[in-house]
Amino acid sequence: MNIIKYPKRSEWSIIVERPHLDVSQLNTTVQSVLEKIKNEGDAAVIEFESKFDHVNLQSLAVSKEEMDEAERLISDKLHHALVLAHHNIAKFHESQKFDGSKIETQPGVTCWQKSVPIQKVGLYIPGGTAPLFSTVLMLATPAKIAGCDEIVLCTPPNREGKVNPAILVAAKIAGVNKIYKAGGVQAIGAMAYGTESVPKVYKIFGPGNQYVMAAKQQVSLHDVAIDMPAGPSEVCVIADETSNPVFVAADLLSQAEHGTDSQVILITTSEDFLYKVNDEVKVQLEQLPRKEIASKALDNSKFVLVKDKEEAMELSNTYAPEHLILSTNDYDELSEKVINAGSVFLGQYACESAGDYASGTNHTLPTHGYALAYNGVNLDSYNRKVTFQHLTKEGVKNIGPAVEIMAENEQLIAHKNAMTVRLQALKNKAE
């Protein structure tokens, strides 16, 4: 852990830097895999599943028998937890439904918006070191509420060709239509281009490693929309002498165990508290099964001592964290100063894990500083807003001259003429 005390503002750019990866060779590999899937379909996906996931598949689709078997394999406690989480996620996202109203901008000119669901969406669910069945709920639940016709899910199988049963049960609870055994770049390619088995979708959602992220960004250039650009996961905790060092250390480590390229940042106004957390991190780290992963993530991480809360919030907004935890007694006051963050957790008891699993907010969030311009997945992510306008004769008279003048000055005479013929028709009729 890197400890930085009272940094000058000129040093902030170094503090907010994320771990850098050389992706030049990676992008070439991803491009070649995508090209082969585009040309060869299922055969290429099955070939890459053998090469990368070390499994020999006869078919890609998950069968009804496998879905039924999955329900018998998970515990009742986990099933109940999935149902509870799904209820809360659904309740929160239901509240985001759009109700467009008609606006008369001028007499006779009426404009409005209609929210239309994306017909076909693809969800990518990692299944490597941590099978993210929680992400199934986060992505599929709002897709179902939005009214997407086809919800396609791809996730890598194990070496026996089986998908993690909790992923399958979560998919059933959330209303996924079709599930396929495909991981990594080959899953993204299959959903972007379509194969004999996997339908082509219009937008792809979901996290993944650097290969998955590179694949999403490449297919987004020409073939399909994606939820957002993303990088490794991260958390920023703002704390002071009123905070609980045990809680804060646990929050930092819960993020650090995601991956070796994850990043955690503590910003505090108390030097004594900083060292208490530092000691507590060492104690809790020894108890973690993913200790080695978390340790490497801590190498990318920083504890920053600042002079006051104002500076703490300014530094956080500069960092634009995926997750921001305001672990202070004055969290209400500090929350008003949040500008750039993916998801914010307020107070001593709002751990990031709550949002990751069951509070109801979505855990698919912008990382790597993208919170400066992007928001996390929500109901709008699965919809498009289509605008409508209706003009009466009165509306044409009211805005027609302005349209003519503007079109003429942009030297788009056909545009001007489209309005001119209407104005002239009304004039002739009046005469």
DSSP string, 90-133: HHHHHTT------EEEETTEEEEEEEEE-SEEEEE---SSS--H
331 occurs within a structural domain:
yes
Contacts 24+ apart (CB under 8 A), 18-22: 18/231, 18/232, 18/234, 18/263, 18/300, 18/368, 18/369, 19/232, 19/261, 19/263, 19/300, 21/210, 21/261
93 occurs within a structural domain:
yes
Q: Measure the CA–CA gap between 316 and 73, rounded to whole angstroms.
A: 43
Query: Quick check: helix, strand or coil at residue 239?
Result: strand
404 occurs within a structural domain:
yes
Q: Measure the CA–CA gap between 238 and 314, rounded to whole angstroms.
A: 11
50 in the same domain as 13 = no
Judge whether 186 is annotated as a binding position: yes
Burial class of residue 9, CB neighbours in 10 A (0-12, 13-18, 19+): exposed
Judge whether 357 is annotated as a binding position: no
62 in the same domain as 167 = yes
201 in the same domain as 265 = no
User: Which CATH number do you get for residue 28?
Assistant: 3.40.50.1980
pLDDT score for 418: 98
Active-site residue 310, yes or no? no
Strand boundaries in 125-262, DSSP class E: 150-155, 178-181, 203-205, 225-226, 234-239
Amino acid code (one letter) for 172 = K
Task: Sort strands 178-181 and 109-117 into parallel, antiparallel or unpaired.
Answer: unpaired
Structural domains of the chain, count: 3
365 occurs within a structural domain:
no
242 in the same domain as 184 = no
Options 49, 322, 352, 363, the catalytic residue:
322
Average pLDDT over residues 340-349: 98
266 in the same domain as 215 = no
311 in the same domain as 242 = yes
146 occurs within a structural domain:
yes
Average pLDDT over residues 188-207: 98
Options 93, 234, 280, 323, the catalytic residue:
323
216 in the same domain as 184 = yes
Q: Give the lowest-confidence range in 23-27, 33-37, 103-107, 149-153.
A: 23-27
146 in the same domain as 57 = yes
Average pLDDT over residues 111-138: 93
Domain stops at, among 203, 229, 255: 229
Judge whether 209 is annotated as a binding position: yes
Q: Measure the CA–CA gap between 78 and 70, rounded to whole angstroms.
A: 12
User: pLDDT, tens digit, for every residue of 229-286?
Assistant: 888 899 999 999 999 999 999 999 999 998 888 999 999 999 999 999 999 999 999 9
Q: Which residue has the higher pLDDT, 230 or 115?
A: 115
371 occurs within a structural domain:
no
Average pLDDT over residues 143-147: 98
For the chain, what is the mean pLDDT? 96
Judge whether 255 is annotated as a binding position: yes
332 occurs within a structural domain:
yes
Query: Quick check: helix, strand or coil at residue 274?
Result: helix
Judge whether 368 is annotated as a binding position: no
How does 375-401 read in b/e, with b if 16+ C-beta sit within 10 Å? bbbbbbbbbeeeeeeebeeebbbbbbe
Write out the residue range of the structural domain in which residue 10 sits: 2-19+232-360
Average pLDDT over residues 48-72: 96
Q: Measure the CA–CA gap between 423 and 232, rounded to whole angstroms.
A: 57
366 occurs within a structural domain:
no
Tokens coding 14: 């170094």
351 in the same domain as 241 = yes
264 in the same domain as 199 = no
Active-site residue 86, yes or no? no
pLDDT(129) > 70: no
278 in the same domain as 339 = yes
Instruction: Name every residue whose Cβ is closer than 8 Å to that of residue 49 and which is 6 or more positions away in sequence.
Output: 55, 56, 57, 156, 157, 181, 182, 183, 186
pLDDT score for 128: 67
pLDDT(24) > 80: no
Nearest to 135 by CA among 93, 171, 94, 162: 171
Judge whether 410 is annotated as a binding position: yes
pLDDT score for 146: 98
Domain stops at, among 178, 198, 229: 229
168 in the same domain as 63 = yes
Judge whether 86 is annotated as a binding position: no
Judge whether 390 is annotated as a binding position: no
| pLDDT-based confidence at residue 25 (cuts at 50, 70, 90) | confident
- Which whole-number Å values give the CA distances from 39 to 45, 153, 189, 226, in the listed order? 11, 21, 10, 21
| pLDDT-based confidence at residue 130 (cuts at 50, 70, 90) | confident
